[in-house]
Chains A and B, each alone.
Chain A
Amino acid sequence: MRFSINPEMATQEVQPNETLTNLKAESDTLKTKLEDERAKLHDVELHQVAEKVDGLGQFIMKTRRTLKGHGNKVLCMDWCKDKRRIVSSSQDGKVIVWDAFTTNKEHAVTMPCTWVMACAYAPSGCAVACGGLDNKCSVYPLSLDKNENLAAKKKSVAMHTNYLSACSFTNSDMQILTSSGDGTCALWDVESGQLLQSFHGHAADVLCLDLAPSETGNTFVSGGCDKKANVWDMRSGQCIQSFETHESDINSVRYYPSGDAFASGSDDATCRLYDLRADREVAIYSKESIIFGASSVDFSLSGRLLFGGYNDYTINVWDVLKGTRVSILFGHENRVSTLRLSPDGTAFCSGSWDHTLRVRDRGYHLEPVTSATVCLILVSSSSCLSLMPVPSPFYFIRTASFITFGP
């Protein structure tokens, strides 16, 4: 009869729901147990430990170069190991290699797709990798001959089932690590295009990744739309540690220079520092006045400063140890999409949706005491000058000689 319920079907429908709730309950209990284990070792805060460290004082950074030439939003950039060249990619499909010292464009490649969200410079400086909405990662060898058509020598390395969000060469030109909107990260061999290892564990799009800094390090960290940051072992493909304290998508992750911690920037307008050995979040960098998400983060060479590019067009510079904001950098006219420190740490470059990239370094900072002294001297000397009667030229020469040669 039409309305008879098939008993087998009924049991089949009930079982999946039960297992779902069971799984969820088990997962929640494990999560609380994990939190308890982590909380046991949380005996002190990082900024308490860092109280005796000197403060940084006034911090001024100046824009030294503005790289103009992209026709649309700049989405990603990377430095070359020679500390001079920069590769940047934009929404209109253009990938440009710049010389940061002279602001000249050295190479320009037009990708067949738009929204090139990932680009990376090879460690040797001889190739660039880029990818985006075409679901692939393509490697272009750079030649010294400017007239040569780079697109002809393109090599497709990675194949994902969704957009490519980030890519990075490992220590050599031969292997490339990619992350994609399909929720996986993968390690590829550049020559053969073969998949060497894939990393499954994210429940949503993976937006960013960063390799551990040491030469022998075989781990990398990835952040995704599931609010999780996972640390992976490249050889085994296993997720070693996972952190889920952000309240929104993680847009950017970066390892601390020592390799024992990493920072993440997220759409919840905070940047957080996670310690890998303590297996927990140790610092949150946020302010009530900052309500826009952080799109990219990077550390300075010593790890004392954390630069965060935000969607409110600014870059906030945080003191990593004390947890306070050191400086805000203005200049971009649209959201800051990418930010990287140069390999020698002298400058950092930020790319933005306002079609430009800005290279900034340390401006000269004025300490309050000495500037007050200078003002005092100027005021006192100007008051002396007003009392002075008009001298004859001979005496002017004498005073001029005093000024140049000192007392």
Chain B
Amino acid sequence: MARDMSDIDILKMELEQLKKEVSTPREPVSKTSKDTMDWCEAASGTDLLITGVPDDKNPYKPEKGGWKNIMLYLHRNTWQTYCSYVSLFTGLKRLKLERKNRRDIH
């Protein structure tokens, strides 16, 4: 046990270990880093913390309601929101024209 060993014994143990380690086979960092990076990229598709989990499959799904969730829902359906705003805009424009026509008729 390390606490019971004297300083000499600890040093001897370290020395033996160092002698073994000096001769271990090593590869260059450029190769191993590239392998690590490739592995990481390959696995990133399955990493749910990076890709995110859709709400219906997420067991920790946040609760419904609340203005924050409404904003998130709106943002998520940006194209739909955009279309609805565009339609609102065109609808209002048509409204304006029709009111104008009505006024002109009257």
Contacts and interface: CB of A to CB of B under 8 A. Distances in A.
Interface string A306-326: 000000000000001100000
Interface string A175-188: 00000011110000
Contact of A275 (B33, B46, B49): B33
Contact of A303 (B17, B28, B40, B87): B40
A186 to B, nearest CB: 11
B28 A278 contact: yes
B86 A278 contact: no
A14 interface: no
B98 A395 contact: yes
Contacts of B58: 346, 361
Contacts of A365: 52
A319 to B, nearest CB: 10
A144 interface: no
B70 interface: no
Contact of A37 (B26, B35, B44, B53): B26
A41 B26 contact: yes
A173 B10 CA distance: 34
Interface in B14-47: 14-15, 17-22, 24, 26-37, 39-41, 43-44, 46-47
A395 B98 CA distance: 10
Contacts of A282: 29, 32-33
Interface stretch (A120-128, A151-159, A236-244): A236-244
Contacts of A205: 2
Given A302-B44, A364-B72, A406-B80, A277 B22 contact: no
Contacts of B36: 46, 256, 258, 260-261, 275, 303, 321
Nearest to B15: A27
B32 to A, nearest CB: 4
B62 A101 contact: no
Contact of A377 (B32, B41, B82, B96): B82
Interface stretch (A28-36, A67-75, A285-293, A328-336): A28-36
B3 interface: yes
9 contacts: A30-B18, A49-B34, A182-B2, A238-B20, A241-B24, A275-B36, A303-B36, A321-B36, A384-B89
Given A23-B11, A43-B29, A304-B47, 9 more contacts: A41-B26, A44-B33, A53-B41, A161-B1, A278-B28, A346-B48, A371-B75, A374-B81, A404-B84
